Structure 1
Amino acid sequence: MTAPPEETRPVTRLMRIEALAARGALALLRRLGPVRASNAGGALCRAIGPRLPVSRVADANLRLAMPDLDAPARRAIIRAVWDNLGRTVGEFPHLPALPENPASGPGWDVVGAEHLAAQVARGGPVIFMSGHIGNWEMLPPGVARHGLPFASFYRAAGNPLVDGMIRALREAAMGPAAGGAPVPMFAKGARGARGALAHIARGGRLGMLIDQKMNDGIEATLFGHPAMTAPALAAMALRYRCPVIPGYVERLGPARLRIHVEPPLALPDSGDRQADILALTQAVNDRLEQWVRARPGTWLWLHRRWPRSAYTPRS
């Protein structure tokens, strides 16, 4: 998995200290094993996360998106969000070794594997869509092990030393499933979008997490409120008429994960390109909302997803 060229960033003394701490944390997580590492990450984040200011963003999001929840219910969800995030970090270095279809204990399985098999048989370009749900880091290696390694978008960490560690962990998670060939990663932004479009045009496979705000996106709705959403997925899928396969990761327990793969979304074809892009973008948001409503404690509510005006009470 090769990251896009980045501007050379000077490595400062603080960055080296951060990298040393990160290496130590990774070494500890590896020694703990997948279950204890998941439990430790979850416990640490449960204890600290709800006290951080960013948890107020999560509370505001929940008030907006799920207004029927009372304060104790929102607090429980926020605590679960931090628990899931901590477990996701704790499990990260163990993903390459997690077995598929274990009889018990840590590992992962796939529901809807027939949709992956159908895409393998069909061949050609495909876009996998998901969100920051459960342990989303399991999606690329899990799908790759079913014969469909896919490219993805990439935002480099601010510390290049830590960034290198993250990329190495992702490469290790893919392992031999990628067939030894590098899997492209595209920088977020206009340049990366052009690279991803060319990749799809060549018959490539692309994965996209579609649940973050994009200020210069298009206005679709999410949980009944306007939400600026990136139109790139819809634009690429409609231009090349390639399948859009939804999927997400359900957490069953410590380092025990289930990948849900759903049938491809219907591609609109009204003859009005902009209307079709909006319709497919809305379908993507609707599918995300369905997943989140089913398991609200496993979605990353910590970023401000809606415009600021949506959070302002109306008189």
Structure 2
Amino acid sequence: MTTSSKSGPKRTLVHLIQAAAIQGSLWTVRQLPLSWASAIGGFLFRTIGPFLKADKVARRNLKHAFPDWDQATIDATVRQVWDNLGRGAGEFAHLGKIDVLAPNGPVDVVGLEHLIAARDQGAAIFLSAHMANWEMVSLVAYAHDCPLNNIYRFATNPYMDTYFRRVRGRFVNKLLPKGPAGFREAYAGMKRGERLGLLLDQKLNEGHPIPFFGRDAMTAIGPVELGLRLDVPILPVRIERIAKCRFRVTIHPPLESPNSGDLKADTIAVATEFTQRLEGWIRERPGEWFWVHKRWPN
């Protein structure tokens, strides 16, 4: 038996064990109040995170982004990053229970009129980022009859990928795979009047270099170009964790297109404007962004 044939069953077994452990944990915290699930997730990630390679990535990113910070500030921010990610994991188990319409619920929405206007007009693009609990964008849109088509990255573990798609699929119109096929479907969806939701803060090697914290970051500008080509509103959406498991979702007015006659230049200008806004949001709440991602070239 070859090495590759041995690795297949072994990899499948590992994936099954991982999926059973993670889904079992999520089922368990789902039985607890949201605040407990959030707190447990935060505690676990604060405990385990420092031993992961991603911890070094976060520290390296922060040192480049904030060169004047001392070690104590970086340590405290990385701890906040792990706490936020852990809370998001615990809260994921409760997505079906979170009522974003409740007057005193866990989600405050600012700028709802912009979402309603975009919904009533037809196609639109909502741009956000991996901040606080980014699942809140889809929940808010869905609750106001504006379900989004979301482009997502497949999970490495196929059993967890199926689980994630099943959970997220309840609150979106469609989940579109990252890549050419998903991009084509996003385009077709907007031509049908559907809305697209994107987290535009991840590295894309085939993207365009956009300045971000003083360094060029390869950014996916294709969806922005698509929106400008179809002349649909492109709305920035900010998510903040304003308490341990309480959030504020701010829907901003659509970004203005330069309309210079040069579609590529206009696309870069709009993508740059959003990236600058995102950097400002992160500077205000650095512990809530996904610093564990290799956003810049090494």
TM-score of the superposition, structure 1-length normalised? 0.87
Counterpart of 2:274? 284
Give the Cα–Cα distance (whole angstroms) in 2 for the partners of residues 101 and 120 of structure 1: 17
Matched, 1:150 2:128: no
Counterpart of 1:5? none
Counterpart of 2:136? 138
In structure 2, which of residues 155, 159, 167 is the aligned counterpart of residue 169 of structure 1?
167
Give the Cα–Cα distance (whole angstroms) in 2 for the partners of residues 249 and 133 of structure 1: 6
Deviation at 1:171, TM superposition (A): 2.9
Counterpart of 1:311? none
Matched, 1:118 2:108: no
Counterpart of 1:58? 58
Quickly say closer, same or farther: Cα 1:53–1:158, change in 2 above 3 A: closer
The 5-angstrom pairing of residues 211-250 of structure 1 reads: 211-250=201-240
CA contact (8 A) 2:38 2:88 kept: yes
SS of 1:32 mapped into structure 2: coil
CA contact (8 A) 2:208 2:218 kept: yes
The 5-angstrom pairing of residues 1-315 of structure 1 reads: 12-100=12-100, 102=102, 107-121=106-120, 123-172=121-170, 174=171, 183-308=173-298
CA contact (8 A) 1:101 1:107 kept: no
CA contact (8 A) 1:54 1:302 kept: yes
Give the Cα–Cα distance (whole angstroms) in 1 for the partners of residues 203 and 251 of structure 2: 24
Deviation at 1:44, TM superposition (A): 0.9
Give the Cα–Cα distance (whole angstroms) in 1 for the partners of residues 162 and 178 of structure 2: 17
Paired amino acid for 1:112: G
Give the Cα–Cα distance (whole angstroms) in 2 for the partners of residues 100 and 141 of structure 1: 7
Give the Cα–Cα distance (whole angstroms) in 1 for the partners of residues 159 and 204 of structure 2: 28
CA contact (8 A) 1:225 1:306 kept: yes
Give the Cα–Cα distance (whole angstroms) in 1 for the partners of residues 228 and 297 of structure 2: 27
Deviation string for 1:236-281 (max 9, x for gaps)?
1110111011112211223322211111111121011221111111
SS of 2:225 mapped into structure 1: helix
Give the Cα–Cα distance (whole angstroms) in 1 for the partners of residues 229 and 97 of structure 2: 38
CA contact (8 A) 1:241 1:267 kept: no
Deviation at 1:102, TM superposition (A): 4.8
**Alignment length (residue pairs):** 290
Paired amino acid for 1:46: R
Unaligned runs of 5+ in 2: 1-7
Deviation at 1:131, TM superposition (A): 0.3
Moved more, 148-157 or 16-25: 16-25
Give the Cα–Cα distance (whole angstroms) in 1 for the partners of residues 93 and 15 of structure 2: 21
Paired amino acid for 1:129: L
Deviation string for 1:201-239 (max 9, x for gaps)?
222100010001111111110112111111112211110
Moved more, 206-215 or 63-72: 63-72
Deviation at 1:158, TM superposition (A): 2.1
Percent identical: 42
Aligned CA-pair RMSD: 1.8
Give the Cα–Cα distance (whole angstroms) in 2 for the partners of residues 159 and 146 of structure 1: 32
Quickly say closer, same or farther: Cα 1:107–1:87, change in 2 above 3 A: same
SS of 1:305 mapped into structure 2: coil
Give the Cα–Cα distance (whole angstroms) in 2 for the partners of residues 211 and 279 of structure 1: 16
Paired amino acid for 2:155: A
SS of 2:26 mapped into structure 1: helix
SS of 2:261 mapped into structure 1: coil
CA contact (8 A) 1:200 1:236 kept: no
CA contact (8 A) 1:16 1:161 kept: yes
Give the Cα–Cα distance (whole angstroms) in 2 for the partners of residues 279 and 197 of structure 1: 21
TM-score of the superposition, structure 2-length normalised? 0.92
Q: Identify the structure with bigger relative contact order (alpha carbons < 8 Å, sequence gap 6+).
A: 1
Deviation at 1:101, TM superposition (A): 5.6
Counterpart of 2:4? none
